[in-house]
Chain A
Amino acid sequence: MSRSLSPTWPNRIFGKLKGLQIYALISAALSLSIVLTIIVTLFVQSGPVLLAENSGLMSTSWNPDKGQFGVLPMLFGSVFVMIIAVSVAFPLGLLAAVYIAETRSSRLRRLIKFFLEMLVGIPSIVYGLIGVAHLNIWVADIFDLQSGRVILTAGILLGIMILPTFLTLTEDAISAIPTKFRENAKSLGLYRHEVFFSVILPQAKTGIAGAGLLALGRALGETMAVMLVIGSLDRLPSPLFNPLSSGQTITSKLGREVAESAFGSVHFSALVFMSLILVSITVILTITSRYLFRKTPENV
C-alpha cells in the first residue's frame, strides 16, 4: 500500500524504511541514549569526590564544610530500611496472594486486584503525609519514643507502599499455573495444601522471586515518603541494628541536600556518587529479576 504513496523526505534519506519504522527507530535510540547519558553523567560527576583527598567516602562522618563525605550511614540506612520494608511486605503479600489466587472466585479476584493496582498508582508523597500524620505518632506511642521519625517508621511505611506491587505480581505468578496441574494433582488424591506446596509453589517460585526483586527496586528508590519520616540523621544507629533511632537513606539525603550543593562542587559530586551506588544496586536487581521472569512460565 505504502508503495503507491509519493516518496517523502524520510524515504529519501532512509531508503526503504517507512515513516513509522523510522519513528520507532528514533524512539528506541532516544531511550537508549537517555539511559547512557544518565550513566555517563553519574560516572563523570562522581569524579571530583573520588579524586578528592581525604574525602573519607567509606567513613561514617558527613560534613561537607570540612570536606568529609562518609556515605556509610546513608548506605546502611538504605539497606536497613529496605530489609524492614521487605519483612513487612513479603509475608503479608505472599499469604494474601495465595488466599486470593487459590480460594476466591475469579470475580472477587479481579475486584481485589483492581483496588491493589490503584494503590500502586498513589503518589508517594501522599503515603509520606499519612506517615507524618499517623504512623509516626503511633510508632512513638507504642515504643514510648520522643519522636516517631525513626528507621522503623520509614521501613513500615515503605513496606506498605511496596505491598501492592508485590502482592499483585505474586498473585499473577500463582494464577498463571495452568488448571490442569491442579486437577491432575487433585485426582491423585492430594489435599489442597499438598497441591499448593508440592505443585503450585515450585512452579510459581521464580515468578514470586521476580515480583520480590521489582518491589525491592521500588523500595530502594523511594524518596519523598522516606524523607518525611526517617529523621534525617547522618549517623549509624547505636547499637547498629536499632530500628528505633533516626537515620538517613541515600534517597532522603539526596532529597534534602541536592538543592543546597553548588553544581560541580565536591559536595555535589559526593551526592552523585551516592546515586551511582543506588543506580548500581537497582540495575543489578532489575537484571536479576529480568532473568528470573524470562525463565518463568511454560518451560518448567
Chain B
Amino acid sequence: MFKNFGILSLAVLLAACSAPEAIYVSGSSTVLPPVSKAADLFSSETGISVIVNAGGSGGGFNQLAEGQSDIGMMSRNITDGERDAFKSFNFTEIAIGRDAVVPSISSEIYDAGVQALTLPQIAGIYTGKVQNWSEVGGPDRAIFVIDKEASRGTRQVFMRVVLGDPKAEAPGTDLVTGSNNEEQTALVQSDAAIGMLSVAWLNEDVRGLAIILQDGEVVEATHENIQAGSYPFVRDLNVVIRGDVKPPAKEFIDYLLGPNGQKMVNNSGYIGIAN
C-alpha cells in the first residue's frame, strides 16, 4: 500500500512539473505596459503563454539572474555591481523603446503657474534646500517631496540627471513609493507634491514639468523632444536576457522588436525603437 501511494504521489508531482511551458517576464513597471500588451498578442498568435509581472528593474534583474524568470525588464542599464554578483552568466540588454522620466507635480500646483523648472531648482527640492512652492514661483504651500525606492530604474535616471549620481540620497524626501502606479496615486492624492514618473503615466491630475535649460531654452516632454534626446531625462526601455535563454523567449523578444511589438510600445505612450 505504501508503495502504491508513493508511486501515485510521484505521478502527481511529475504531472505538476510538466505543465505547458510558459515564458516568465518580470521587472520594471515602466517597461511592463507595452510588454504585457505584446504578450497578449503573442500568446494568441503562437499559443505560448507569457506571464508578465512587475517588481522593479532591480528585482527583474535578480529574478533573471537567479533563473526564476526568462526575461527581465529594466528601465535602466545593468550596473557593474549587478554583473559582478553573477559573474558566471552573460547578460544582454535589448532596447525595445525610448522613454522619458518626467519630474511630475500635482495638477493644483501646475495650474497655479509652476510649469517649468531648472535642474538646480529640482535638485534644491530633493536635497531639502527648497521647501516651499513660493520659492520657485508657485503658491505659498510646503512642497511634498516624493522619492522612489533606491533600486528603481526611474529614480536612478532621475537622480543621475538632477543630482549627478544615480544613487544620490535625497534628504528632502517626505514619502517613498515603489512602482509608477503607487507614485502616481500618491501624486494624485496630494495637492502640493512633486515626484518622478515615466512619460506614459502623466494625465490630467499629474502634470509633467518642462525643463529650463542653462541657456534659457524651455524643453517640454513631447515625443519629438524625447526622440531627439533634447529632453534631459531620456532613457532606453530594455529587456534583458541571460546567456542560456530559451528559444521561445528569444522568439518573444523578436516579436517585441517587430511591427506588432513596436506598435504596442507606441500605444503605451513611449517611442518605438524603429522610428
A residues contacting B by CB (< 8 A) are 8-10, 63-66, 132, 136-137, 140, 146-149, 231-234, 245-246, 256-257, 259-263, 265
Contacts and interface: CB of A to CB of B under 8 A. Distances in A.
Contact of B173 (A63, A233, A260): A233
24 contacts: A8-B1, A63-B169, A65-B81, A137-B189, A146-B142, A146-B191, A147-B146, A147-B186, A147-B189, A147-B190, A148-B189, A231-B174, A231-B175, A232-B177, A245-B174, A246-B175, A256-B149, A256-B178, A257-B151, A259-B56, A259-B62, A260-B56, A260-B62, A260-B149
B58 interface: yes
Contacts of B56: 259-260
A231 to B, nearest CB: 5
Q: How large is the interface on B (under 10, 10 to 19, 20 to 34, 35 or more residues)?
A: 35 or more
Contacts of B81: 65
Nearest to A259: B59
B192 interface: yes
Contacts of A246: 174-176
Contacts of A137: 189
B178 A65 contact: no
Contacts of A149: 175, 186
A263 B67 CA distance: 13
A261 B173 CA distance: 23
Interface in B39-53: none
Nearest to B142: A146
Contacts of B150: 63-65
A166 to B, nearest CB: 30
Nearest to B177: A232
A257 B175 contact: no
Contacts of B146: 147
A21 B246 CA distance: 47
Given A231-B176, A259-B56, A265 B186 contact: no
B167 interface: yes
A146 B178 contact: no
A257 B149 contact: yes
Nearest to B147: A233
B173 A262 contact: no
Contacts of B176: 231-234, 246
Interface in B6-62: 55-56, 58-59, 62
Given A146-B144, A246-B174, A259-B56, A8 B2 contact: yes
B186 A260 contact: no
Interface string B64-95: 01100000000000000110011000000000
A224 to B, nearest CB: 13
Contacts of A136: 189
Contacts of A263: 66
B126 to A, nearest CB: 14
B175 A233 contact: yes
